[in-house]
């Protein structure tokens, strides 16, 4: 997955269409806004999400997820108060699925790091299910579903769905009407 080069314009056009972002870029953050966010957090946002936010739309009422994309610097309304401060530069701590609700003594500090380290929150499907885009660590560029029960990577290589990994694959999977976990 190439996450650092500029995305194909056709990919951006497909994202624009799928997410109904047709306001001619008026809702986009702009490159200065993206660069300021990256500098403030010590990360480079993975492509094609980076270009989408800069040039097309910073957030979207259309899904995915069910309640739409939140803006780059925002969190969903149901994120909850009292969570530790997020550290996007600290690597996302997982490279494989982890269902901590199945463990009697799950490491609560590690659970908090899954929620707060190395990822931006794309949005929510409600009921505490959040979609994250990893911005630092070995899974940079991958999308993960993180909930109170565990964390699962998105993409066919991980065995739970038939989608392509990454933001564009995640949006494409949703736009074609397939269920999130259509392979399990």
pLDDT of residue 22 exceeding 80: no
Looking at the predicted structure, is the pLDDT value of residue 2 above 80?
Answer: no
pLDDT digits (tens, 9 = 90+) for 157-172: 998 899 999 999 999 9
Would you list the domain boundaries of the chain? 9-72+87-175
Max mean pLDDT range (17-21, 61-65, 76-80, 127-131) = 127-131
Stretch (H or E) spanning 150:
none
More confident residue, 95 or 62: 95
In terms of Cβ atoms closer than 10 Å to its own Cβ (0-12, 13-18, 19+), residue 101 is exposed
Give the separation between CA 116 and CA 159, rounded to whole angstroms.
Answer: 25
Residue 73's pLDDT is what? Answer: 94
Q: What is the share, in percent, of the chain residues with pLDDT greater than 70? A: 97
Maximum C-alpha span of the chain? 51
Helix, strand, coil % over all residues of the chain, rounded to 5: 30, 15, 55
Spatial contact of 99 and 149, defined as CB atoms under 8 Å apart: yes
Gyration radius (Cα) of the chain, Å: 15
Rounded to two decimals, what is the model's pTM?
A: 0.93
Q: pLDDT value at position 138?
A: 97
Is-cis flag, bond preceding 31, omega within 30? Answer: no
Is the dihedral angle over the CA atoms 117, 123, 126, 131 positive or is it negative? negative
Q: Which of the residue ranges 4-13, 97-106, 121-130, 134-143 would you say has the lowest mean pLDDT?
A: 4-13
pLDDT per residue as tens digits for the range 111-157 = 999 999 999 999 999 988 999 999 999 999 999 999 999 999 999 99
Rounded distance, CA 52 to CA 28, Å?
8
Q: How far out from the chain centre does Cα 131 lie?
A: 5
Distance (Å) of CA 10 to CA 15, 48, 78, 96, 166:
9, 11, 33, 31, 16
60 pLDDT tier (thresholds 50, 70, 90): confident
Res 184: pLDDT: 66
Determine how many CB atoms are found less than 10 A away from the CB of residue 29.
23
The count of C-alpha atoms lying within 13 angstroms of the C-alpha of 24, restricted to the half-sphere facing its C-beta, is 0
Question: How would CATH label the architecture of 9-72+87-175?
Answer: 3-Layer(aba) Sandwich (3.40)
**Per-residue model confidence (pLDDT) at position 49:** 96
Convert the pLDDT of each residue in 78-96 to its tens digit: 887 778 789 999 999 999 9
Could you give the strand order of the β-sheet that contains 143-146, starting from the edge strand earlier in sequence? 119-126, 129-134, 143-146, 151-153
pLDDT band at 39 (very low <50, low <70, confident <90, very high): very high
């Amino acid at each position: 997955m190439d996450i650092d080069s500029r995305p194909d314009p056709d990919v951006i056009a497909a994202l624009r269409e799928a997410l109904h972002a047709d306001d001619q870029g008026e809702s986009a953050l702009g490159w200065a806004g993206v660069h300021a966010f990256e500098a403030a957090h010590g990360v480079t946002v993975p492509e094609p999400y980076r270009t989408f936010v800069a040039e097309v739309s910073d957030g979207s009422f259309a899904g995915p997820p069910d309640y739409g994309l939140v803006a780059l610097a925002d969190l969903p309304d149901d994120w909850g108060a009292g969570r530790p401060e997020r550290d996007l530069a600290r690597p996302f701590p997982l490279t494989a699925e982890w269902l901590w609700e199945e463990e009697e003594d799950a490491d609560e500090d590690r659970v908090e790091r899954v929620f707060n380290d190395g990822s931006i929150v794309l949005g929510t499907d409600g009921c505490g299910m959040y979609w994250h885009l990893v911005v630092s660590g070995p899974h940079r560029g991958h999308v993960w579903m993180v909930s109170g029960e565990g964390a699962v990577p998105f993409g066919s290589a991980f065995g739970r769905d038939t989608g392509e990994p990454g933001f564009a694959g995640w949006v494409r999977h949703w736009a074609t009407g397939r269920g999130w976990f259509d392979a399990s």
